[in-house]
Each structure stands twice: as C-alpha cells, then as structure tokens.
Amino acid sequence: MSLAAGIKIGRYEIHEKLGEGGMGEVYLALDTKLNRQVALKILPAQVAADRNRMSRFIQEAKAASALNHPNIVTIYEIDESDSVNFIATEYIDGETLRDRIRSAPIKLSDALSVAAQIAGALSAAHEAGIVHRDIKPDNIMLRRDGIVKVLDFGLAKLAEPAPIHYVDTEALTSAPIKTEPGMIMGTAIYMSPEQARGFQVDARTDIFSLGVLIYEMVAGRLPFAGSNTIDILAAILSDKGPSPLARYRHEAPAELERIVEKALAKEREERYQSAKDLLIDLRQLKKRLELDAERARTTPPEKFAVPPSGDRFGVPPSSGISSELKAFPPEGGIPTA
C-alpha cells in the first residue's frame, strides 16, 4: 500500500512516490533534520522479517556507503521506525538508463561515457569486495549534468537467500526471476550464465551484465532475446554469441566489438577479469574516437579541386609524373589515394 504525502517515517516526510519494485517502494522524501531531499526505499515486511538476510544486507550496504565514489549513489541511513524498515539515499534528479534507452537512440559517445562511469563504479566496489549482482538499466540513474549513478548496491545481497544450487525452470516466466515472494534474483536478460545456473557469482558476473548494457545502448536491442524468461536463459546459456554490433549500428568500431565480445564471453575465465581492465579499454576507445572527431572538425577542406580532364594537380595522366608523387596532398590535406 502506497504512503500518502505528508506521512512521516522517522525524520523523513513523504512527498511523492517515485516507483516500486520487488525490493520495495521508493519515495521522494524530505529529511526534516538536515532539510534535504532523499530517496526513501521502504523494504517489504517479509524481507525485513528475515534477520539473517537483513544482517547480510546491512553489512554490505555499509561497505558500499563507505566507498564514497562519484558514480555510486550515497547511502545516508538504514533504519527502522514503527516496524517500517527503510533506506535513505541520495536523491538523483534525472532519469533511469531504461527511460533513456526507450526514449531515443543513444549516441555512441554517450554510450561509451555511461559505460565507462558504470565500470568505474564497479571497479571501486569490486576492489572493496562488493559484487552488485543486479546491474540493469533500472538500476542506473543519469543525472541531468551527465553524471551516472549506480543504485542498489547491497540490495541484491538482501534478495539472496542461502546458497542456490539450481534454477527452478518451472517457475520461470517473462517476469524477473524470483525465489520467494518479493525477492528478485535479477532480471533474466542481464544475468550472466553462471548466475542463471545458480552458481556462486563473483565480480565477473557484473562485467557480463555491463556487457549486455553496452550492447543494448549501442545496438538498440538486447544481445540475448526471447519471448519469455526460459527462451532468454536458453540464449544466455547457449554457446552462441550475439550478432555483431555493426549489424545494427554501422558506425560501431571494431574495437568496441572486441570489448563487448570479451565482456559477454560465456565462460567467465574468458571475460575481462576485472572491471578496471574493462574501464581502461573503454576510456582508451572513447579518447580515440574523440580525437578522430576533433581531427575531422579541424581538418581544412582540400585547396584544389580535381580538374575534369586530369588529376587534382592539373597534370594530365600522360605527363609522366609518378603516381607516388601525385598521391601527396596539398599542404595540410589528407591523402585520398
């Protein structure tokens, strides 16, 4: 049941509902003590009732809040008031990556910027021993100034029950995979193969999920698709890789194809072994494309037009001047032969 505007949860005054998911409802609220806006996530009662799971979540959320990384949403408080368990976090004025993908095609430069910022956040988290486990467009916020924020570090840990030894395929539907009511184990289309199989996951599962995001931003479609969750998981678990990015985005450079292919390797030993390595490659590619674009903007037009009955230097083809010499452009130009 949604909370009405004006209701107080501890020192937080509810303003409006922002959204909801398997791990609770999210509200825009006012911290009446510090006079600042926050995002207040109200945890489902059945989740909060599991003390062991809450303890694991609080431990990981505390570790995430200590990261103080510009691309990770800040956790202000985890508390309980009148039997309501909540998390107060930084409020992000912007849109989710899901909304951006749905609204219009994403420019290649913007996709690389978003991907690099997510990789930076994951690198910091992984170095602190924290695996997100649920990287997807809904958990990525894009601020109006272009800064990317990764949400919900620790919530996947809260959703994680005791060790999983299999995926219950009979329970799979087109909705996110669940193990118990309200406990989302991850959206199937962004799962790594090992996560889909219910195996123990590590940092490389986040790298695979980020690979799916990059593919989706660039190609405008998912790398592994299906009409329902079973079909999607079958595609993820098969040996077949996705179609090349260039099939859907002709300007996608070969280096980006290589990066995405490596991030989406079905065997985690063949993937990037750290988000830091992925970040380095993304930054290098982004820098190279920016330099190429700058050269294209600043290169002056050719000074001489090609005469209709000769080469561009006005020398008839039969003049005997070597083709090597004629291949040189006028000063400041670019060879075209």
- Positions annotated as catalytic residues are 134
**Complete DSSP assignment for 129-174:** T-------GGGEEEETTS-EEE--TTHHHHH--S------GGG--S
The partner residues of 305 in beta bridges, in order of sequence, read none
Compute how many other C-beta atoms are within 10 angstroms of the C-beta atom of residue 268: 19
Task: Copy the structure tokens of residue 104.
Answer: 């219009």
- Between strands 84-90 and 94-96, the pairing is unpaired
How would you label 210-232 residue by residue, b for 16+ Cβ within 10 Å and e otherwise?
bbbbbbbbbbeebbbebeebbeb
From CA 306, how far away is CA 166, in angstroms rounded?
69
- Between strands 94-96 and 75-81, the pairing is unpaired
From CA 263, how far away is CA 115, in angstroms rounded?
12
H helix runs in the chain, sequence order: 45-48, 51-65, 97-103, 108-127, 155-159, 193-196, 203-219, 229-237, 254-263, 275-298, 323-326
Q: At what angle do helices 203-219 and 254-263 cross, to 10 degrees?
A: 140
CA atoms within 13 A on the CB side of 103: 9
- Between strands 94-96 and 8-9, the pairing is unpaired
